[in-house]
Structure 1
Amino acid sequence: MRLGLAANRRHHASADAALFRWLRASGAGLRELGVGLHAVGRTYDAVIRHRALDGYAGLVRYPYGREGGLMKLVAEVVGLGEGRTLDGAVYLIDPVDPSSIFPEAVALKRQCVIQGKPFLSTVASARDWVESERLHAGRAPDAGADALHAFDGQTLALIAHDAMKPQMLEFADRHFELLSRFQTRIATGTTGQRLNELAWRRGWPQGQDWAQRFQSGPLGGDAQIADRVLDGRCQRAVFFEDPHVARQHEADIQLLERAVTTVTDTVACLTSPAVADRWAQAAARRAAMV
């Protein structure tokens, strides 16, 4: 497996920055799995300077961002043949860093979503991805990831834009038992109503909401969920975004995404059906093992 790797300046500026918190937590798993990390210039330099992955042959240097390093990651997420195709990207975003909204940064996320590959923009997401891949590889659960899987004390947000609502319902149907383990599920208006109807068909008590409904996205539902994220009342988001259409409430969508990256250590986000399915399969396997 190969992942692109980038982090905004704040996230690699000191020894306790987000990039190094992730590498300390996940370094052993990355080595176990032999994950190639194709790191943009400054991020690579910071990893070397702080000796965060000493002796790791899988760390590969790309040009600085100003020299096209992030653009190269975007092209390789799309795929350029053997040796030049990435399986996803870790991009630890500082939401107040202007470079986080440069075209190549936006395109990196968009192409990961389109290609059905993980886009890991928070420490929690990147940590969770390593644990999921370890489980798929037949490894025993890492006790250090237990908090991420304590679903009975967590809130899960389920959000899908119009064209993706059928896929969200299919995802919830396939993994209903796992998702029902969360203490609370929340959703924007129409998605929440359809999820509740699905739950009632599956035997959930009639009239009892399976998913707590907020406003629809255009009427502020994304902002309401962002508030929960910022207050530490939502720990995971499954966010099926349609990357192909312009939306009048784009600012609200960006608000939710910025909220997730603001609390980078505590919220994991899954950005496409394929990525969410793979996570759910690993989470169910883990639950059966612990």
Structure 2
Amino acid sequence: MLIGLAANRLHHQTEDAALFALLRAIEPGIRELQLGLHAVGRTYDAIAAADMLHRYPQLVRYPYGREGGLMKLVAEVVGMGDGRTLDAAIYLTDPVDPSSIFPEALALKRQCVIHGKAFLSTVASARDWIEMERIHAGLPQDRNADRFHDYENQTLALIAHDALKPQMLEFAAQNFTLLSRFRRRVGTGTTGQNLNELAWSKGWPQDLPWVDRYNSGPLGGDAQIADLVLERRCQRVIFFEDPHVARQHEADIQLLERAVTTVTHEAVCTTTLKVAQRWCDAALLRA
């Protein structure tokens, strides 16, 4: 597998920065899975300066972002052939750095969503994804990743744009037992109501909501869930985004995304059905 790798300056300025914390946690998995890493210039240089991934032959340096390095990763998500088709992208963003909303940054996520590939914008998301792939490869469980799978003590957010609400319902129906293990589930507007009706049809007690509903997205539901994330009261977000339509409440969606990256060590975020289902399958194998 090939992974794109980039991190904003904030995440590699100090020894305890997020990029280095991530690599310390996942380097064994990177080597076990023999992942190819296409790292944008400054990120590569920071890894080399810290003497991490020492002599790992599959770590490849790409140009600096200002020279098109991140743009090249976007093209590789789409697929360039000849060993240049990424399976996922790790991009640790700084939520207050303007570069996080540069066209190439937004396009990287958008193309990952379109092509059903993992876009990993937080340390927690990347650690969770590596463990998921280790499990699918039949490797022993990493006990240091146990906290990401303590579902009985976690809150899960389930959100879907209008065109993807049927997809969310199918996903929830197929994985109902696993999703029911979470201590709490939250959702926005119509998605939350539809999920409750699904749960009641499956025998969930009629007097109990399966999902605690917040406002619809355009009326602030994304902001309400963002607040839960920032308070460390929501640990996992599954957000099926429709990249093909103009979104009138784009600012609210970006607010939720920024909340997730603000608590980079705590929040796991998944934006496509394919990746969400692969996580569910791994969770069942891990159990």
Length-normalised TM-score, structure 1: 0.98
1:186 aligned counterpart, secondary structure: strand
Aligned letter for 2:282? Answer: A
1:160 and 2:169 are equivalent in the alignment: no
Where in structure 2 are the equivalents of 1:70-89 lying within 5 Å?
70-89=70-89
Q: Distance in 2 between matches of 1:88 and 1:51?
A: 24
Partner of 1:127: 127
Q: Distance in 2 between matches of 1:227 and 1:34?
A: 38
Partner of 1:147: 147
2:94 aligned counterpart, secondary structure: coil
Partner of 1:229: 229
1:7 and 2:32 are equivalent in the alignment: no
Deviation at 1:199, TM superposition (A): 0.5
Q: Distance in 2 between matches of 1:67 and 1:260?
A: 28
Partner of 1:196: 196
Q: CA RMSD in A?
A: 0.6
Q: Distance in 2 between matches of 1:196 and 1:145?
A: 30
**Runs of 4+ that moved beyond 3 A:** none
Where in structure 2 are the equivalents of 1:34-113 lying within 5 Å?
34-113=34-113
Deviation at 1:207, TM superposition (A): 2.5
2:76 aligned counterpart, secondary structure: helix
Partner of 2:261: 261
Deviation per CA, 1:15-61, whole angstroms, max 9, x where unpaired?
11000111001110110000111000000000000011111111000
Q: Distance in 2 between matches of 1:25 and 1:145?
A: 9
Partner of 1:186: 186
Partner of 2:208: 208
Deviation at 1:82, TM superposition (A): 2.9
Percent identity over the alignment is 71
Deviation at 1:84, TM superposition (A): 1.1
Q: Distance in 2 between matches of 1:19 and 1:215?
A: 35
Q: Which runs of 5+ in 1 are unaligned?
A: none
Q: Which runs of 5+ in 2 are unaligned?
A: none
Aligned letter for 1:68? Answer: G
Q: Distance in 2 between matches of 1:11 and 1:194?
A: 39
Aligned letter for 1:75? Answer: A
Q: Distance in 2 between matches of 1:46 and 1:55?
A: 14
Deviation at 1:276, TM superposition (A): 0.4
Aligned letter for 1:264? Answer: T
Q: Distance in 2 between matches of 1:240 and 1:207?
A: 28
Aligned letter for 2:179? Answer: L
